[in-house]
Chains A and B, each alone.
Chain A
């Protein structure tokens, strides 16, 4: 019965891979780069300490985030993940600004529509020195140009706007 192959960590560290090796579940031998990069940035003993302090069910996520951070640090030795955080925070700010501008534009459109509505409403008011006939013809001219309201009856007209 042959022994199982050592995990990537023990291969790199050139040591015997114990049955209870803390790295074995997370650094399989077929992906040596994963442990190499984490070891380069954090060091094997620091990673081991960090994993030992965590419950077993959280270790896989911790390894994934350590690998992510290590990759970011190798790609950008000056800023690492902090560079990505700055970039994302900037994107969030820009999007929030664009959203505020767009929402203001909606408000403006609604205000314009409200104003158009009020102007249309005012044009329906009957001046006291005009005859009813001329008022009705004004109304008819208005509705025919907009092609919206076809009912010529002034009484019905009032009920639309109240």
Chain B
């Protein structure tokens, strides 16, 4: 047994040549990385993909392949696309909340500019804010 074989060649039970494309990215002490990638993509697809890239980009490519493979193993139906959907939803929710908050700021500022004392009174009597279009947000914010 050659102790110098990379994780890929160990898993594939073959000789590990000195110019093996997997050596830099799949060290023998972390066998699980290659196992995941091989299970999802296959060794030959990974090798083809890495070969098409310049040397300085292969490490990042190998890392992203490992990550995607891991996501796919954990979620065989959606893989990392599940996380993408979740993030897109979070962005929509945050944008909506931000728009509401900014509109409320504009409203409060316009009220303060027109009627400073009335604005202060409204701020103090926040329970009577039913006429505000953002009453839900306003009440939850005021507590």
Contact = CB atoms under 8 A, between A and B. Distances in A.
A92 B91 CA distance: 6
Interface string B68-111: 10001000111111111001101100110110011011001100
Interface in B32-80: 39-42, 44-45, 49, 52-53, 57, 60-61, 64-65, 67-68, 72, 76-80
Given A106-B104, A146-B116, A82 B94 contact: no
Q: Quick one: which of A43, A78, A110 has the most chain B CB within 10 A?
A: A78
Interface string A74-96: 00011111111100110110011
A14 B75 CA distance: 31
B1 interface: no
Interface string A22-34: 0000000000000
Contacts of B67: 82
Interface stretch (A1-9, A62-70, A129-137, A151-159): A62-70
B87 A96 contact: no
A113 B119 contact: yes
A62 B102 CA distance: 40
B125 to A, nearest CB: 10
B130 interface: no
A61 B78 contact: yes
Contacts of A64: 81
A88 B80 contact: no
Contacts of A85: 80, 83-84, 87
B139 to A, nearest CB: 13
A99 B87 contact: no
A148 B118 contact: yes
Interface of A: 40-43, 45-46, 50, 53-54, 58, 61-62, 64-66, 68-69, 73, 77-85, 88-89, 91-92, 95-96, 98-99, 102-103, 105-106, 109-110, 112-114, 116-117, 120, 146, 148-149
24 contacts: A42-B40, A42-B45, A43-B45, A46-B41, A65-B81, A66-B79, A73-B49, A77-B52, A78-B61, A78-B64, A81-B64, A81-B79, A81-B80, A92-B87, A103-B141, A106-B105, A106-B108, A110-B142, A113-B119, A113-B123, A114-B120, A116-B120, A117-B120, A117-B121
